[in-house]
Structure 1
Amino acid sequence: MDTPIQQLEHTDQATKQMLENVRKRKKKFDDVKMWHYFSIYGTLFLAFIFTFYFYITFVKQYSYSFLAMLSAGLNDTVAVYLLAFTIVGFGAMNLLKQQKEKKEKEYQELRCEIVDRSKDLWKREEEWKNRHIVFEIMKKQYDINLYHEKK
């Protein structure tokens, strides 16, 4: 369990565990989101390199015939590898997008559950009055908003 969550005074152990779970899911979501953005930029870079290479090498030279351009492009190993890496990058980008959406959904569901059950989690009046301290710590330390259900 992370240190700021362990040191919370006005929460019981079960609530601390829920806060730790939402922190872990947020971290997983942020990691997948970062990798998704890397895959987007990597795929765009590879597509640009492939397009530039294809234009310089084949379009200028074989502009009189599309079939001659296509045949020369398929016979060139560099062009085929660049195209293959671009296609693999596109597939990875789509796979990471699906994972990102799944992780975001899991994170948002748990976060909303904490917001919904806040009356049950902080039952005593003293805990209820001091729950804003927990919310502020979660917002400042981990960028997790427990004040509202909306994103």
Structure 2
Amino acid sequence: MEVNLMILNSDTDQATKQMLQYVIEKKRKWDYYHAAHRIMLWTSILYTLALFYIFYYSIMTPYQYSLLEMLVILTNKKSYLLIVLLAIFLFSGTTILHKKREDSEKEYHDLRCEIIDRSKDLWKGEAWKNRHRIFQMMKKTYDINLYHESK
């Protein structure tokens, strides 16, 4: 469990601390997939631009008189096929990471909204008046907004 959650006072019970721990884990998972998707996307875009540049000067310029000749050159060299397959692999990896990012964002947002909806049950009596300290700590330390449901 996070150190910041362990040092919370008696205003927060163990079940609430566990829910806050889960939302922190979901946020970290979402941040990881968000960063990995961004890196993979830019890598695949730059790789594809470099690929078009290489193909333009090595295939299209010398064999511009015939489209069929360009396709024959492209398919005869195994290195060109491997380069194209790598570009396809990069874009398919980007698609997979995008889907994982969207799923982890949905899990994170659902759990965060559940904490917001159940906040009246989680903090009762005197703890309700002090819950803003926990919300401020979550916002400042983990960048998790527990004040409003909107993203």
- For normalisation by structure 2, the TM-score amounts to 0.97
Aligned to 1:130: 130
Aligned equivalents of 1:67 and 1:18: distance in 2? Answer: 62
Q: Root-mean-square deviation (CA), in Å?
A: 0.8
1:84 aligns with 2:85: yes
What is the Cα deviation at residue 149 of structure 1?
Answer: 0.6
What is the Cα deviation at residue 107 of structure 1?
Answer: 0.4
Aligned to 1:73: 74
Aligned to 2:46: 45
Aligned equivalents of 2:28 and 2:145: distance in 1? Answer: 14
What is the Cα deviation at residue 60 of structure 1?
Answer: 0.6
What is the Cα deviation at residue 19 of structure 1?
Answer: 0.2
Aligned to 1:102: 103
Regions of 4+ moved over 3 Å: none
Equivalenced residue count is 150
Higher mean displacement: 38-47 or 113-122:
38-47
Aligned equivalents of 1:76 and 1:39: distance in 2? Answer: 27
Q: Is the 8 A contact 1:112 1:149 kept in 2?
A: yes
Structure 1: gaps spanning 5 or more residues: none
Aligned to 1:143: 143
Aligned equivalents of 1:127 and 1:150: distance in 2? Answer: 24
What is the Cα deviation at residue 76 of structure 1?
Answer: 2.1
Q: Is the 8 A contact 1:46 1:85 kept in 2?
A: no
Task: Give the aligned residue type for 1:45.
Answer: L
Identity %: 43
